[in-house]
Structure 1
């Protein structure tokens, strides 16, 4: 396969999914990891993608917000492994909140399978999360906030914030568009940032669930600092410098294997 053909495929995958991993591209293209890294470096030098540890992400502006279906197909195995690890933090009969996001949705699908944790009280501003729990039958009480719908199927805005201000939960599982040492947790959507802050205020502990490609990605609006996070559940593709920054911020990091 010619270099230009590889570049076209890489750009197509990034445009479709928002992020790609070196290992996945190596398998698809039939070339070595080193060749893929070199291709990504060339595309990044042209401003077409942005390099992250283990892959590349979309270089489009920080206000760009991919849809739920698009994000759901990225790092699927990693998200399920993260969901399984996060599930171990849930106590039977707990009250929890799940933010919008594809990793929190993966967690909801796992929760739906765990009869031993029922009944649960679950608060969410995610339509797919609520659907996954509803489809499981008698999970417990599921509270869906009101609000305006975003491209990622989150309910956000004043109605969502007003509902959350009256609620208190034991544990919040929170997704993020991006995580950065300086910027903290970010999202492309200003109203979603406000709603995520309200979710965090409602919880005793905040657990962020996000795969390692989120590190170094920036959205337009910050909603939490690293110091606001109690636990990060991610995969072991997280770079060493990220682990250092998180430790300095007092964040407990739980790593799941990438393979």
Structure 2
């Protein structure tokens, strides 16, 4: 197999799976580990992927910020299944933080059934969902700020408000996650606000479907190990599972059939 053909196969596999290890490429293509590493060096220099320890991940534009409507159409079954699994971590009467995002928005729909919650969010979309069922005996606190394309309220006002709060558990939706970059977002102000939300919570739960692995936004919100729990789906690449298992105490994967249903 010519080098160009081999590298094309590598790029195709990276885009399909999100992340692949060197040893997997070597076995798949019938070449040495050293040959694969040279291919990865070349492809990384061309901007076609990101090299990580032991393999490579899909590269994503660090400043791309799709709007809420566009993001809400992506991986809907997975997000709904992740939301149902995440809701099992919430007990009646607790103080919950929800970052802005389409997966946390899906979680808000499930949390409407839980009595006695105090929910803090920087998302008008989430607030609208929770106010649609006022009989749930819930307190909803919305922090103010500047609105982003993804309908998050961010900036100094939001950060200042969050600094005054103490939450039992925070659910964080992310633009991407990767071994070296951690949990990221393409919006600098949103990163500041999310960091304040994370700091306000005693426990951090990251909600991220499998397509988020290998995507790196412009700014880091938290390191991989800062999360107490990560809830994803079984489409998550095996490399990602291994990396997350090394950093996170509790990795929960929604079964494929649950996502499909």
Tell me which interval the TM-score lies in, with the shorter structure as reference length: 0.7 to 0.9
Match of 1:118 among 115, 134, 154: 115
**Which residues of structure 1 form unaligned runs of 5+?**
1-19, 23-43, 52-56
SS of the residue corresponding to residue 123 of structure 1 reads strand
Say whether the 8 Å CA contact 1:212–1:238 is kept in structure 2.
yes
Say whether the 8 Å CA contact 2:60–2:217 is kept in structure 1.
no
**Which residues of structure 2 form unaligned runs of 5+?**
1-14, 18-42, 51-56
Aligned to 2:66: 66
SS of the residue corresponding to residue 106 of structure 2 reads helix
Aligned to 2:179: 181
Instruction: Out of 59-68 and 175-184, give the one that drifted further.
Output: 59-68
Aligned to 1:129: 126
What's the Cα RMSD here?
A: 2.3
* CA drift at 1:77: 0.3
> Counterparts of 2:59 and 2:213 in 1: how far apart (Å)?
14
TM-score, normalisation: structure 1: 0.76
* CA drift at 1:64: 1.3
> Counterparts of 2:169 and 2:210 in 1: how far apart (Å)?
22
- Runs of at least 4 residues off by over 3 Å: 47-51, 57-60
Aligned to 1:191: 189
> Counterparts of 1:50 and 1:76 in 2: how far apart (Å)?
26
Aligned to 1:205: 203
Cα distance 1:21–1:244, how it changes in 2: closer, same or farther (>3 A)? closer
* CA drift at 1:58: 9.7
Say whether the 8 Å CA contact 2:59–2:216 is kept in structure 1.
no
Say whether the 8 Å CA contact 1:226–1:251 is kept in structure 2.
no
State the structure with more CA Rg: 2
